[in-house]
Amino acid sequence: MTRFLARINKIKWFSKCGNAANDYVVISSIFDVYDNHNAKMLITWEPEICALENEAKEIITDEKIDYIFDTVSNTIQNALWNGYCNFIERRRLENETGLEREILACVKRDISWAAIELQIGQRGFFNDLLGIYEQGRWPCSYEGIYSNGKFVVM
């Protein structure tokens, strides 16, 4: 877990959000993400979460899952918030506020599940997301059926 925490401490949260990218569908509006892509995100993320949670409960228990979520949240909270605020200012999205708590909770969830994947010896969907976060982006949805499509990012 120590190496994982060191790894996520290097992430420049939201630093590339809004920049063009060939590998992804790029969205530049937070409101667009929630209005037009949230349902697609749930369709993709939910089965991945459920399957991983069921497997992890058998291998590492609920208590260890809770510990990982708490540890990840506490580790990235300040840097995540600062990165988010810088992103809002840089992209001039001050009028698109009100969803900060939900967005940061989603990021913490994704990163926590990535840690759990590694804890139980697999690299799956959430480590794919981790790679996108490490690029300074926010993976917020998916176009197509995972893994035959493209991530939607800011």
Task: Output the six-digit token pair for 60.
Answer: 């590492």
pTM: 0.94
Backbone φ, ψ for residue 25 (5° rounding): -90, 120
154 residues of the chain, pLDDT tens digit each: 899 999 999 999 999 998 999 999 999 999 999 999 999 999 999 999 999 999 999 999 999 999 999 999 999 999 999 999 999 999 999 999 899 999 999 999 999 999 999 999 998 999 999 999 999 999 999 999 998 999 999 9
143: left (phi over 0), alpha (psi -120 to 50) or beta: beta
